[in-house]
């Protein structure tokens, strides 16, 4: 097998946010993640330039959240002289989103609406193919980050045979 020896899975997703307190509030109160640690503020020009690849005059604070059975989320709030103030779109290089698996799409969407979260369109249902029965919906964090709810109770991926299916939070070892 090729790849990184000992690979176990995605451990965390790192996101830069404009306001740490507001982002922690959104991910804990609205999404349901748990705050785990505050890493404090870092202002080390060599680290910024050589390790993180940002302006040496930048500083940042960081925190970690745990979100159910999926990967952790590491949040960064940078103060940098050359910072872009808007997140990339999905079509931009480096564009991204995080999908959160839910058991009941209708209940989850109702919760987001009750919290005043911007919903992007309607719940989409995949009717055919290996993802048949999957539901998904995009929404935005208050600072514009695109996020997604997804649900596929019957699994997703090739059916039968030795083909590997996509990871499922309810059945992580299948």
Same domain flag for 69 and 58 = yes
Q: Are residues 1 and 55 in the same domain?
A: yes
> Does the pLDDT of residue 124 top 70, yes or no?
yes
> What strand order describes the sheet that includes 59-66?
12-16, 72-79, 59-66, 34-42
Domain count, the chain: 2
Q: Which two tokens stand for residue 164?
A: 């590997």
Question: pLDDT-derived band of residue 97, with 50, 70 and 90 as boundaries?
Answer: very high
Tell whether 68 and 93 lie within a shared domain: no
CATH number at residue 117: 3.30.720.110
Range of the domain at 153: 87-174
Q: What is the mean pLDDT of residues 85-92?
A: 89
- If asked whether residues 103 and 158 sit together in one domain, one would say yes
Mean pLDDT along residues 137-151? 96
Residues 126, 78, single domain; the answer is: no
Query: Among 85, 116, 140, which residue terminates a domain?
Result: 85
Look at the block and give the residue holding tokens 């964090």: 141
Q: Looking at the structure, do residues 45 and 81 belong to the same domain, yes or no?
A: yes
CA 121/CA 139 separation, integer angstroms: 8
CA 151 – CA 114 distance, rounded (Å): 20
Q: Residue 137, exposed/middle/buried by CB under 10 A (0-12, 13-18, 19+)?
A: buried
């Amino acid at each position: 097998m090729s790849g990184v020896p000992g690979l176990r899975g995605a451990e965390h997703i790192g996101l830069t946010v404009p306001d740490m307190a507001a982002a922690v509030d959104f991910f804990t109160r609205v999404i349901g993640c748990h705050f785990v640690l505050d890493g404090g503020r870092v202002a080390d020009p060599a680290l910024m330039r050589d390790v993180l690849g940002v302006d040496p005059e930048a500083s940042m604070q960081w925190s970690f959240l745990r979100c159910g059975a999926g990967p952790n989320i590491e949040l960064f709030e940078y103060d940098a002289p050359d910072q872009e103030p808007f997140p990339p779109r999905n079509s931009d290089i480096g564009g991204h989103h995080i999908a959160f698996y839910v058991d009941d799409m209708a209940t989850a969407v109702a919760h987001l609406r009750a919290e005043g979260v911007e919903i992007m369109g309607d719940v989409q249902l995949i009717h055919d193919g290996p993802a048949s029965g999957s539901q998904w919906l995009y929404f935005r964090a208050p600072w514009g980050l695109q996020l997604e709810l997804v649900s596929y109770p019957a699994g997703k991926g090739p059916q039968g045979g030795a083909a590997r299916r996509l990871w499922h939070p309810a059945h992580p070892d299948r």
